[in-house]
Amino acid sequence: MYKVRLWSVRRSRFMEGLYNTVNPAIIAVLKGITKVFGKKLDKPITAAEAGLKGFLFDCQMCGNCALSKTGMSCPMNCPKTIRNGPCGGVRPNGMCEVKPEMRCVWVAAWDGASRMKDGDAIKSIDFAVDHREKGTSTWLKLAREELAEDAK
Amino acid sequence: MIEEIQDAETLGTNPGDPLPQLPGHVSHGRFERVLRAGHFAVTTEIAPPDSADPDEVLTRASLFDGYVDAINATDGSGAHCHMSSLAVCAILTRAGYSPILQISCRDRNRIAIQGDTLGAAALGVCNALCLSGDDVGAGDHPEAKPVFDFDSVSLTRTLRVLRDESRFLSGRKLDLAPKLFIGSSINPFVPPIANRADQLAKKIEAGAEYIQSQYCFDMDVLKDFMSKAVDMGLTEKAYILIGVGVLPSARTAKWMRANVPGVHIPDNIIKRLEGADKPLREGRNICVEIMQQLKETAGVSGVHVMAYRQEKWVKDVVKRSGVLDGRVPWSPETEELN
Ligand code: SF4
């Protein structure tokens, strides 16, 4: 939801804190779940992630979540899906070149990042997304990566 | 030097027969030579024809003879269909010009772009400019599918991988890497203005070796941006060329400001055009003045003159501005390499 999304970016520092505490907890739980159930619960877990992040950030489930690096503003809402933005077309009032009724997600991102503890993360380059991961859960990906790490 | 001149004459005019690559240079091109030699560079933009006629490209390029160091070939700018930038560049290299291949992320995915980059280098192109690209909705085919597999930063990095690591993104090795001088763009004049220098830093970190900016009609904003860039050490790492334009009338200026994404024209410029007896002449005066101020601005390595439908005036403004300091850039008629 556009309004909630703007709200989340305005409270980027709070959301960052929340994210930093909740995310590891979710991932820890998911590690347990995937150990027991394998891939059986992937669908509902993915749906839960899509629902929660969709509500808060208008998450598009790209499967390459970068929220913590983009001021809590989801870059996949950019009509050009720019991951290191903004483009040069931003309107003088900060609205999007393509959708004049939407605040440029990257104007929001730099603004959000300026309030975050780890806001400088926005300055690091985010390479183009892996399109195979569209629609998949970033939570499950992180959980499985951690499991693989643990197994090493 | 004599050898170099002979090389330029005998070799520089055939695709695949570029100039010798100088030590410390990444490309064989003349544009890189001009910048690395410390000259104030002048580039411009060619409007690609809506035609399959190669002569039309050469006719349009000849308008700039002796006044520009490189010519940008736009890639479907404004999301309008024209002759492709790759083809325009190939035609220009054949005549010995030094074109800049603009690559936009809008129309091609990473497979097509990497292939085209190799092809361009094989055809003698020495410069590439990485752009995100305009939205399809702005053009004459709004029903087209926008691709945007990359953004300009990922694209820049990809070209560096091709050139410096001699491999595709997939890891597959190239037999010969494309020797390209790689650039990207910046627009310091639109929000988030406070972060535009940070974004410039990202583009340079991704691998941009030169930058061409959007139109500058506001020296105050530009000076702030450049002083940040200088303080951050960015002008040591990349050559910054600032875009300038020729406005033919107050009406066009207002139209551009309202309709062309990313164009910022302050009210004082519009007022000047409105108050002028000869607005066309005044538009060129404004351009000349801005160029002269840019030449004196720390960290600025050149200007990029964008004069869409005003191409015939490029020579005039460059000449009157004096930014070339008497230097005569290469053209097909030039006997000597500068
Ligand atoms: S203005 Fe912002 S949101 Fe719109 S296309 Fe450009 S970067 Fe994306």
Beta carbon of A65 within 6 Å of any ligand 1 atom: no
| Span B79-92, pLDDT tens digits | 999 999 999 999 99
Instruction: Give the Cα-Cα-Cα angle A144, A113, B186 (nearest 5 degrees).
Output: 105
Nearest to B23 by CA among B4, B43, B5, B10: B4
Number of Cβ atoms within 10 Å of the Cβ of B212: 26
CB contact under 8 A, B151 and A82: yes
Q: For the residues of A62-77, what is the DSSP string, one character each? A: -SS--GGGTTT--GGG
Q: What was the ipTM of the complex prediction?
A: 0.94
pTM score, whole prediction? 0.94
Number of C-alpha atoms within 13 angstroms, CB side, residue B124? 24
Please determine, for residue B210, whether its predicted confidence score (pLDDT) is greater than 70.
yes
Pick the residue whose CA is nearest to atom 8 on ligand 1.
A78
Please determine, for residue B321, whether its predicted confidence score (pLDDT) is greater than 50.
yes
Number of Cβ atoms within 10 Å of the Cβ of A41: 15
Q: Which long-range contacts (CB under 8 A, 24 or more apart) does A10-15 make?
A: A10/A112, A12/A71, A12/A72, A12/A73, A12/A111, A12/A112, A12/A113, A12/A115, A12/A116, A12/A119, A13/A115, A13/A116, A13/A117, A15/A56, A15/A72
Mean model confidence pLDDT for chain B: 93
| Span B249-262, pLDDT tens digits | 999 999 999 999 99
Mean model confidence pLDDT for chain A: 94
Reported CATH class of domain B8-321 = alpha beta
Q: How far is the CA of B99 from the centre of ligand 1 (A)?
A: 29
Mutate to test the interface with A, among B132, B185, B259 (most CBs of A within 10 A): B132
Question: Residue B167's beta-bridge partner residues?
Answer: B173
State the nearest Cα–Cα gap between A90 and chain B, in angstroms.
6
CB contact under 8 A, B137 and A98: yes
Asked whether the CA dihedral A132, A136, A138, A140 is positive or negative, the reply is negative
State the nearest Cα–Cα gap between B186 and chain A, in angstroms.
7
Q: Report the distance separating Cα B291 and Cα B244, nearest Å.
A: 7
Least CA distance to A108: which residue of chain B?
B192
Nearest to B314 by CA among B40, B47, B37: B47
Please determine, for residue B13, whether its predicted confidence score (pLDDT) is greater than 90.
no
Query: Which tokens go with A43?
Result: 């669908």
| Span A135-145, pLDDT tens digits | 999 999 999 99
